[in-house]
Amino acid sequence: MLRLGKTGRRLLGGIIALTGICVGMAAQAMPASDPPEQLLQRAFNIKTSNHDEFLRILAKLRLVADSLPLDEQWSLRYLEAWQAVFEGNVSRAITSLRAISEQAPSPALRLRAMATMVNIFGFAHRYEEAFIQLNRLTELLPQVSDQGARYAAMGEAAQFLIGSHHFKQAIEYADQMLQNIPPGKSACHAVRYRLQALLHGGSAQLTPAEFQQGIDLCTKDNDSVYVNAIRADMAALLLQKGRATEAIHELEEHYAEVAAYKYAAQMQYSDMLLAKGYFSLGDLSKARQYALAVVDGNVENAYSEALSQAYELLYQIDNRLGHTREALAYHEKYMEADKGYLSDVTAGALAYETIKQQVQSQKNQVDVLNRQNQILQLQRKLDHKAMETSRLYIALLLSVMAYIAFWLLRTKRSQLRFKRLATRDSLTNISSRQHFVDETESSLRQAAKSTRSACLILMDLDHFKQVNDTHGHVIGDLVLKRAVAACQHHLGRHDIFGRFGGEEFAILMPNCGATQARERAERLRQAIAATPLWGETRSVVITASFGVASTDRSGYELRQLMIDADNALYQAKREGRNRVVYEDGNDPVAPTPTNVQEQAVAVQPADLPRRHQPAV
């Protein structure tokens, strides 16, 4: 059973209200003499724009509920369930919505119930149940002629898919909304979902002008909530393009208006963008102010991308200011929040694949049963024939068995592929961040039991952002692959090598003392600096900085090893990069400058493609 605290119920009510907050402006009260059919229609139209009037109409309808026609009774039941969600009584609402989605005579009403459950389950991170309802919604959609119900359901689907990081599918629903706008509606909501999915899905073709067109469209509808949602995404795009001053101006000019909505997720997003903008301009005081606002506005026991980024920014601010103790505290909170957020993203992805496979499995089972029925019918018709007919039956039966065996083999291979995708980095084919953490913690526990030393090495490619900005994403990916390949030649069979994101990597070396780890890190540094560059990357110089920590000094807790290695890495960066620093940085190992410079070749703009800025 889903249980929400006071804060959770208030936020869930806000999300349900936000979904349709722009249905219309508040209107005058309906006279008591209006027929129930008109009262029901009015309640549907104003439930988010004039909630007090909605409650008065609901009270009138309850008095005559027993005398209503059957379809109007079901409509009243849906409105009661919607109000239960608004009040935070989610358990009662879901029970009623399930009954409506399965038994209501109106396909449009069943569709609305399914869409509301997608919204509820998505908010509660019950992704598997949300995808089950989304699949039912998708199957029912072609049978519904009510344009308003179809438009609302596709909007719920697009919102949920964006929240669960399935941006391609969200764009498809937004495009369907644009092609099926009901009378009296504008394309405001559909345009907002499409732009949001393109931005967070990493589209490199977006421009601020496209967001401004969406803002103008929603402004004509007096839809201020969606206007400011699009404005926040435009600010995110401006930050990606290095136009922080413009982004800050867009957000702060309408900050009070956004705060008045009391919608925590939107407020967190705006505060995080402002914190990033001020940090990029070097205003650490305001960056801290907005990052702390993100933390203060977070729902209890909930992880989000904004919370993870806020803790990371606070860590960077205090680290830059030399506040070591505060920086370490924020670094610990960042790791916890980031792990929780990544786990939530992974849960959404696995739920999607699980339901997808279940749906395909059900279809296959239906196909198998149909074939079996066909075979049984054929058997009855051919019983009077001779042995040749029997051979035909056996051949058909064997074909069915072969089909089932092939399907089972294919399902098993898909499961193995999903497991591999969850543990390997897709670009470099080394351990993903979460898999590295799990394997490293297990290895450290074994080392602690046997009191054997182990060392952690953090590696960061120097000036990698300049490589991306100068040569583009494709060349940046080639540089990452070649740096990884250079390191793998010098790693042992029991070493754990993982990518932490971007140009950051980590290596755990079991059964390795501090001196040996420093020497091996130096060999890795030299191998990267001496990596032969050919083809499109011939004019790129690769160097890396290393931070080394040992269990002899830091103990066997991964968190402390990470902090010490990270501090050593920062010291290596401060001392000029392309060097190895062990723990406190008292004994750095620096490269011979001429060895690196001999590899540099002047970059010709025509040699390499330009890179589009990535989405945040």
> Residues with catalytic annotation?
503
Contact in structure between 371 and 379 (CB atoms under 8 Å): no
Query: Among all chains, which residue has been given the structure tokens 């991306």?
Result: 468
> Residues 6 or more apart from 447 whose CB is under 8 A from it?
453, 454, 510, 511, 551, 556
In 3D, which of 154, 5, 175 has the Cα closest to residue 88?
A: 5
> Residues 6 or more apart from 176 whose CB is under 8 A from it?
154
In 3D, which of 132, 130, 73 has the Cα closest to residue 106?
A: 73
Cα-Cα end-to-end distance for the chain = 35
In 3D, which of 455, 456, 465 has the Cα closest to residue 566?
A: 456
Structure tokens at 574: 């401060």
> Residues 6 or more apart from 72 whose CB is under 8 A from it?
36, 37, 40
> Residues 6 or more apart from 573 whose CB is under 8 A from it?
460, 545
Rg (CA), the chain: 29
- The C-alpha atoms of residue 146 and residue 440 are separated, in whole angstroms, by 55
- Report CA dihedral (368, 371, 377, 379) to the nearest 10 degrees: -90
Contact in structure between 212 and 234 (CB atoms under 8 Å): yes
Q: Which amino acid is at 340?
A: G
- The C-alpha atoms of residue 540 and residue 455 are separated, in whole angstroms, by 31
In 3D, which of 486, 407, 454 has the Cα closest to residue 557?
A: 454
- Using DSSP, state whether 371 is helix, strand or coil: helix
User: What is the DSSP-derived secondary structure letter of residue 203?
Assistant: -
> Helix-strand-coil percent breakdown of the chain, rounded to 5?
70, 5, 25
- The C-alpha atoms of residue 311 and residue 303 are separated, in whole angstroms, by 11
Question: Rounded to 5 degrees, what angle do the CA atoms 123, 206, 468 make?
Answer: 100
- The C-alpha atoms of residue 61 and residue 461 are separated, in whole angstroms, by 67
The widest CA-to-CA distance across the chain, in whole angstroms, is 94
CA 610 to chain centre: 27
Contact in structure between 210 and 195 (CB atoms under 8 Å): yes
- The C-alpha atoms of residue 116 and residue 548 are separated, in whole angstroms, by 52
Cα atoms in the Cβ-side hemisphere of radius 13 Å centred on 523: 11
Structure tokens at 418: 């999903």
How many contiguous H segments (helices) and E segments (strands) does the chain have?
Answer: 26, 5
- The C-alpha atoms of residue 609 and residue 588 are separated, in whole angstroms, by 37
Structure tokens at 472: 């583009």
